[in-house]
Amino acid sequence: MADDGDTVPELDETNNVRVAAVAIGITRPELVVTALTGPAKAGTGQRITLNTTVRNTASPPATAGPFTVGLYLSDSATFDSSTALLLGRRTVSSLAGGGVSSGGTTVTVPAGLTDGAYFLFAVADDGAAVIEADEGNNVFAAASPLVVVRPDLAIGTASASVTPARLVTVSAIIQNGVTPGAAPAFAVGIYLSPTAEFDPGTARLLHRRPLTGLAGGARTTVQATLPIPGDVPAGAQFVVVVADDGDAVPESNETNNVRVVTPEITVVPAELIMTAVSGPVAAGAGGAIPVVTTMRNLGAWAAPPFTIGIYLSPTASFDLSSSRLLGGPRLRGLGAGVTHTATTSVTVPPDVVTGTYFLVAVADADNEMVETTRANNVMVASRVIEVSSSSKSSRRARQLSTTRNASPNGSWSGRISPRRLRLRNSVIESMPSAPNRPSRSVSRVVSSATIRRALSGSRRATATPPTCGRPPRPVSVPPPRSRQ
């Protein structure tokens, strides 16, 4: 067209247009999916490959691209893009008129699906990137549905046994009964239950074993040897093994995951007895003193970990509310029939009122275990300890130092050296204690007289009304520590 826009006034404005003698054809691409295949069955969470073929039925040069082929799953035979689950997309960079593109796409079957048959769809130009001759023929349904199955974890055979070391050994077979429903990571829980009916609210979790997963149809064995906590009541206890403890895996059957092991096990109560406590007859406020404790495990089983509490009591009748905790060793346990003697350095609080006190030792001071009786856990030293102010204590320490330097060295020969000896904390079982109960290894020189006094006798505590702990006990003990 000449003078397109008519800017020039012409004599004849009607002859400016010339139409070509030959028409040219303009065609749009036309995409359709012609094939969609995949596995007949798959487990939730499983990776599967879906193969698609897409064709551009337009004649050259109507090239399409780039575009994607969308892969969908639906519980309806009629495709609805608002409800169908998008599994993935295959990208086609270019497809010439008359061309064909085939390819496989690996997708994951959603873990949240329930068991059943689902319809698969492939959608050409899923993102509507190509203007086509026909936009209404782009959805293709697979000829056969995809059957989706979830895994089913369960406990096969399981057994449990106990030893006097207060250990329970558990062995259980974990199985996944569905093929190909692979289970992703989950945990196996091992519990002690007071009843044969498993109740997570009352059962005690002993152990939770993480597993990375279990293939469909596979099985694995979980074995564990576990300490029985001290506060598990004596008597019959049921070991319970729970598959997928915490329910991380959606399963086709969630009701078969618990196995109560029969026969039940019998938990034997602990029985500690404190038999002696002794220390120096004099101490300074703020100073460290050695305290010798002797105790025994009378029980038929090893005792679980516990703490020995060493107290300063103003009376021979131990009362927790009026006593001061000085510290005490932490033991990792005590074997059945084993006697334990320890020398522990504890510190007299700097703010303690000067005067006469009794040293008291309490087995399982934190009340961590169930015992046959706790009346025998407390022992009071037979000799009193005179606590003076720290300044007096310093003078006494200087006197001791002078005496030591003036004396020749002695040696340990099965009895207390008449001169001096080096006293070292023998509590090799000690564990780190709470901040308010120091239990430190010491190596200090003390006089032989101090040692003789330290090793002097002790006596059973006289009964006093309990001020805390469990009511039937004739002596006061601290309450159990809170558990996570």
Piece of 13-21, 29-37, 220-228, 333-341 that binds Ca ion (CB under 5 A): 29-37
Smallest distance from Ca ion to CB 242, Å: 10
Smallest distance from Ca ion to CB 460, Å: 12
CA–CA gap between residue 435 and residue 455 (Å, rounded): 27
Among 253, 322, 382, 417, binds Ca ion (CB under 5 A): 253
85-104 residues near Ca ion, rule: CB under 5 A: none
Piece of 77-85, 265-273, 381-389, 448-456 that binds Ca ion (CB under 5 A): 265-273
Piece of 1-9, 240-248, 306-314, 380-388 that binds Ca ion (CB under 5 A): 240-248
Smallest distance from Ca ion to CB 27, Å: 13
**C-beta atoms surrounding 303 within 10 Å:** 27
Piece of 44-52, 68-76, 267-275, 332-340 that binds Ca ion (CB under 5 A): 267-275
- 244 touches Ca ion (CB under 5 A): yes
Smallest distance from Ca ion to CB 128, Å: 11
Piece of 159-167, 239-247, 260-268, 342-350 that binds Ca ion (CB under 5 A): 239-247
Of 477, 433, 241, residue with least CA distance to 345: 433
Of 337, 328, 335, residue with least CA distance to 364: 328
Q: Are 340 and 332 in contact (CB under 8 A)?
A: no
Burial 462-483 (b: 16+ CB within 10 A, else e): eebebeebeeebebbbbebeee
- 31 touches Ca ion (CB under 5 A): yes
Among 149, 272, 276, 387, binds Ca ion (CB under 5 A): 272
CA–CA gap between residue 391 and residue 404 (Å, rounded): 20
Piece of 216-224, 255-263, 280-288, 416-424 that binds Ca ion (CB under 5 A): 255-263
CA–CA gap between residue 198 and residue 255 (Å, rounded): 12
Among 249, 274, 326, 334, binds Ca ion (CB under 5 A): 249
Smallest distance from Ca ion to CB 430, Å: 21
With CB under 5 A as the rule, give the number of residues binding Ca ion. 20
Q: Are 343 and 423 in contact (CB under 8 A)?
A: yes
Q: Measured at CB, which residue is nearest to Ca ion?
A: 244
Closer to Ca ion at the Cβ: 396 or 460? Answer: 460
- What are the CA-CA distances from residue 349 to residues 103, 284, 321, 446, 478 (Å)? 80, 9, 16, 20, 19
- 134 touches Ca ion (CB under 5 A): yes
Closer to Ca ion at the Cβ: 253 or 426? Answer: 253
Smallest distance from Ca ion to CB 439, Å: 21
Closer to Ca ion at the Cβ: 153 or 232? Answer: 153
Among 105, 176, 193, 257, binds Ca ion (CB under 5 A): 257
Q: Binding pattern to Ca ion, positions 114-133, x when CB under 5 A?
A: ------------------x-
- 152 touches Ca ion (CB under 5 A): yes
Closer to Ca ion at the Cβ: 267 or 454? Answer: 267
Smallest distance from Ca ion to CB 428, Å: 23
Smallest distance from Ca ion to CB 480, Å: 15
CA–CA gap between residue 226 and residue 230 (Å, rounded): 12
Closer to Ca ion at the Cβ: 398 or 470? Answer: 470
Among 297, 376, 433, 458, binds Ca ion (CB under 5 A): 376
Query: Residue numbers of the site for Ca ion (CB under 5 A)?
Result: 31, 132, 134, 137-138, 152-154, 244, 247, 249, 251, 253-254, 256-257, 272, 371, 376-377
